[in-house]
Every structure is written in C-alpha cells, then in structure tokens.
Amino acid sequence: MNNTLRFPDEFLWGASTSAYQIEGAYNDDNKGENIWDRFVRRDARVLNGDTGDIACDHYHRMPQDVALLKKLGIPCYSFTISWTRILPEGRGQINVKGLDFYNRLVDTLLDAGIRPKATLYHWDFPQLLQDLGGWPNRDSVDWFAEYAQIVFEKLADRVKFWVTHNEPWVVAFLGYATGIHAPGVCDYSQAYQTAHHLLMAHGKAVQVYRQGGYDGQIGLTLNLNGLMPASDSDEDRAATQRVHDETHALFLDPVFKGEYPQALFNFIGPHKPNIQAGDLQLIRQPIDFLGLNYYNTDLVAFDIHSGLNKARLTPYSAPSWGRTEMNWGIYPAGIKGEALYVKKRYGNPDLYIAENGCAMPDEPDENGFVADWDRIRYIKAHIQALHEVIQEGVNLKGYFVWSIFDNFEWERGYGPRFGLVRVNYETLERIPKQSAYWYRDVITNNAINL
C-alpha cells in the first residue's frame, strides 16, 4: 500500500502571520495609533492585560525572522500590513519609515528566495478614522482605497500576491456586534453596515489594483468554519442556515454573484445595511482567487437568548480528537466540506487555504523545545482532507499554516500558542518546534506520509 499523498507540482506551501500579532513596535518610527492599540488599554478587554506593544518584536527582528523562514524551507510567507505605519492618521500624510519597513521585508524575502504574499487589512484600523465613525462610516471605502493605492504603488512591482481583507466577518461581528474585538461595539446595525463597507472597500481596492496594471493576483480571504445542526429539528436547521448565511453567503454571494442573501436580510429586518445603487456592482469585481481560513466546526442549536440569530454554537469534534487549547473542536473533514461548498456554489474559483492550524498545550523541555505531535496530527489530518479535495476537482492551489510564530492571540492575549516556532516572550528567543521540522519535510517532499 502506498502511504504517501503527493500534491500537484505547482502546489504552494506557506505560513501566515499578521502585523498586530507579531510586529510590536507599536509607536516606533511615527506609527499612528490603531484600534487594537487603543482596545488593549481598555479595562479587562484582553486576558491578563496583554498588549501587542512588543509582541514578537518582529519589527526589529525581521531579518533574523526571514532567515529562520528560509531555514525552515517556507516557500511563501503571508504577512499583513499595518495601515497606521504607512498612514499614521489613516489618510493624508505618508510615513516613509513605515513604508520602508515593508519595502525591506519584501526585499529580504525575495533575497531569501521566499515569495511574499501581502494582506492589506487584518483588523488594525486607524484610530483617528475610528474617531470619525470607523467602518460603519461610508467614507471608509475611500479611506481604504487611498491606503491600498499607496501600498500597491510601493510594493506591487515585487509583491505579486495580494489580499484585500482577512476575515471581514470577524471585523464586522466580533468588532461591532459582540464587541469582543476592537473597537468593542455591540450593535448589529453597525455590524451589518461594516460588512457592507468592507465588501465595497474590497471591491474598490481590486479596482485600484486593476487600474494600476500590476501583473499579480488579488483576492479576498474569508473564515469559512464548519456548521452543523445540533439536531434534526426544524428550529436547529433554520438556526444553522441563519448562521451560515451570516458567515458565508453574506460575503460570498455579493462577491461572486452580486447579491445579498435575502432570507437573512428578511430575518434581521431593521438591522440590514443601507445599500445604494451601484454598491453591489462595485463589490462584484472579478477576483483571482479566494482565501479560505478553516479551523473548526460547530454544532448550531436554536436558542432564543443567543444574539440576533437566536443560535447557540458548541464545538464539534470527530471521534478521538478532543479539543484544542482554545476549546475549539477538531473536525478535519470540515475543511473538505467548506472547499467543496465553495466549488459547488461559486464556480470553482482558485482557492488557497490561507490559515489553518491549532493552539495546543505546548510543554517546552529544558531547552525550550516543544515536541508538538498533537499539532502535527491536526495539521496532517487537514492536509490529508485537502488532498481528497484536489482529487474531487477543487482548484486548490496552496496551503498556509497559521502560524509560523507563537503570537498575540487577540482577546486571549499570549495564552494560546499557534506557532510552529515557539517564542519565549521573556527573551523573545525563537525555537522551532517539532512541527516546524515536520512541515519542512512536507514541503520538501511535496507530500505527506500517512
């Protein structure tokens, strides 16, 4: 029996990070304040009072970090750009030092033979623009386009792989509905308006990119986690459909079909966003690929007390899998379900898994080494499911693990560790875990061994 699952020759392996989670240097070199800089200073918003002020100090250690990526054989590095490093006030005056950091990052990556992939927005909105209303303000579409244009002009000659937004659902609903993320607002109307403006901002940035005539590809990354009804009851099925519409169709339908899910809008009634003539055309720009982030699957039950959707989510795990350190379920087949869903409903676009990985209870030995076989098991099972996805005709082009480094995990601070590389937050030393070496072999062989 052949126990090796080989991937197509052109399959792209990579690793992802995000600016606020690793860079630190929160006020160096004229960087402006963003909403996470502000949020972490509000009482009890982040576990243990942790902040991203220093994080992995990647801003100061970038050359060594790129050298480590090279040593670990990472072919493509997916990073995100901090808006207020480039535009401290969110618009207007450009900060050359901020732009220069990303310029150096890109050159250092290319010198190391690593392909750069850049995301414009991973949740760190400029505070001064937040003071003007943030994403719920329709002007945010133009603010974002201005920022995008500046970044493209500087970097798109060398960066050929662009993402507008990472996980707009999280921005809209955790930022503006449940308020567990910055800016900490609890208002469904603002959440839906934010979703609409994020989509318009995406469309406008794609237009700007096309008008610039750059010869790369641009897309959007969504978190499409799995959902299953907790029972066969009509109530649970309907609740699942609502959550599915909010997390999937609300973003996929306008981008790929130029329409919003009407059943959801009927259900939320007065909370639905203001949409003007031409908005949906702007959103429906052809994109070159879709980024899909998958971590877990939840069971959904009707619950009159649970939010606008009246839906309660509980983690689901396949037999023998248990849960991750985040208390997320583990269901590798779910990643396959999501990829097949996108293929079936949205015309089989080129697809990248832009994030997948897990926080595990890493136990370093006396040298700081972590033998994280549980993480390897998780990642391998998901990659195995993706191999099946390719056999079933999905245009899956690559896989990016979240994350290369342990980092600041938003409202959970430095508790959960997702990295293939351990970061000692006292000394800031980086120590590759077992999974980093295992992943290097996967990349070298372009295959997993079962």
Which lies closer to ligand FCB via its Cβ, residue 130 or residue 223? Answer: 223
DSSP label at residue 273 = P
Number of DSSP helices (H) and strands (E) in the chain, helices first: 17, 15
Rounded distance between C-alpha atoms, residue 450 and residue 257, angstroms: 39
What amino acid is encoded at 37 in this protein? D
Stretch 202-231 residues interacting with ligand FCB (CB under 6 A) = 223
445: which residues sit within 8 A by CB, 6+ positions away? Answer: 4, 6
Closest contact distance (angstroms) between CB of 406 and ligand FCB is 11
* Other CB atoms within 10 Å distance of the CB of residue 126: 25
Stretch that binds ligand FCB, among 35-43, 60-68, 165-173, 233-241 (CB under 6 A): 165-173
| Among the listed residues 23, 50, 65, 167, the single contact to ligand FCB using CB under 6 A | 167
410 binds ligand FCB (CB under 6 A): yes
Which lies closer to ligand FCB via its Cβ, residue 229 or residue 332? Answer: 332
Stretch 277-306 residues interacting with ligand FCB (CB under 6 A) = 293
* 85, HSE (Cβ side, Cα atoms, 13 Å): 23
Q: Which residue has the tokens 């009509």?
A: 234
| Cβ–Cβ < 8 Å for 226, 173 | no
Binding track, positions 87-126, relative to ligand FCB; x by CB under 6 A: ----------------------------------------
Given the residues 23, 33, 325, 355, the one annotated as active site: 355
Which lies closer to ligand FCB via its Cβ, residue 21 or residue 193? Answer: 21
Alpha helix (H) residue ranges in 4-139: 19-22, 35-39, 58-71, 83-86, 96-111, 127-130
Closest contact distance (angstroms) between CB of 403 and ligand FCB is 7
Which lies closer to ligand FCB via its Cβ, residue 79 or residue 147? Answer: 79
| Among the listed residues 82, 254, 409, 417, the single contact to ligand FCB using CB under 6 A | 409
Closest contact distance (angstroms) between CB of 130 and ligand FCB is 19
Please confirm whether the linkage preceding 183 is cis (ω < 30° from 0).
Answer: yes
> Helix 140-155 and helix 96-111: axis angle, to 10°?
50
Closest contact distance (angstroms) between CB of 23 and ligand FCB is 13
Active-site annotation holds for 355: yes
Active-site annotation holds for 259: no
DSSP label at residue 126 = B
Binding track, positions 6-45, relative to ligand FCB; x by CB under 6 A: ------------x--x------------------------
Which lies closer to ligand FCB via its Cβ, residue 166 or residue 190? Answer: 166
402 binds ligand FCB (CB under 6 A): yes
Rounded distance between C-alpha atoms, residue 311 and residue 227, angstroms: 11
Which lies closer to ligand FCB via its Cβ, residue 161 or residue 400? Answer: 400
**CB contact burial 317-337 (16+ within 10 A = b; e otherwise):** eeeebeebbbebbbbbebbbb
Given the residues 23, 33, 167, 246, the one annotated as active site: 167
Closest contact distance (angstroms) between CB of 255 and ligand FCB is 18
Rounded distance between C-alpha atoms, residue 116 and residue 108, angstroms: 10
355 binds ligand FCB (CB under 6 A): yes
328 binds ligand FCB (CB under 6 A): no
Closest contact distance (angstroms) between CB of 220 and ligand FCB is 13
Rounded distance between C-alpha atoms, residue 252 and residue 261, angstroms: 10
Q: Which long-range contacts (CB under 8 A, 24 or more apart) does 425-429 make?
A: 428/54, 428/56, 428/57, 428/61, 429/368
Closest contact distance (angstroms) between CB of 418 and ligand FCB is 6
Rounded distance between C-alpha atoms, residue 7 and residue 4, angstroms: 10
Stretch that binds ligand FCB, among 27-35, 164-172, 249-257, 419-427 (CB under 6 A): 164-172
Closest contact distance (angstroms) between CB of 355 and ligand FCB is 6
Q: Which residue has the tokens 């609890």?
A: 186
Rounded distance between C-alpha atoms, residue 38 and residue 33, angstroms: 7
| Among the listed residues 127, 166, 194, 297, the single contact to ligand FCB using CB under 6 A | 166
**Size of interface with ligand FCB, in residues (CB under 6 A):** 12
Which lies closer to ligand FCB via its Cβ, residue 120 or residue 208? Answer: 120
Query: Collapsing DSSP states into helix, strand and coil, what is residue 419?
Result: coil
418 binds ligand FCB (CB under 6 A): yes
Closest contact distance (angstroms) between CB of 321 and ligand FCB is 18
Stretch that binds ligand FCB, among 146-154, 162-170, 235-243, 314-322 (CB under 6 A): 162-170
- CA angle, 13 then 114 then 223, to 5°: 45
Rounded distance between C-alpha atoms, residue 403 and residue 12, angstroms: 16
Residues at the site binding ligand FCB, with contacts judged by CB under 6 A: 18, 21, 166-167, 170, 223, 293, 355, 402, 409-410, 418
Q: Which residues are catalytic?
A: 167, 355
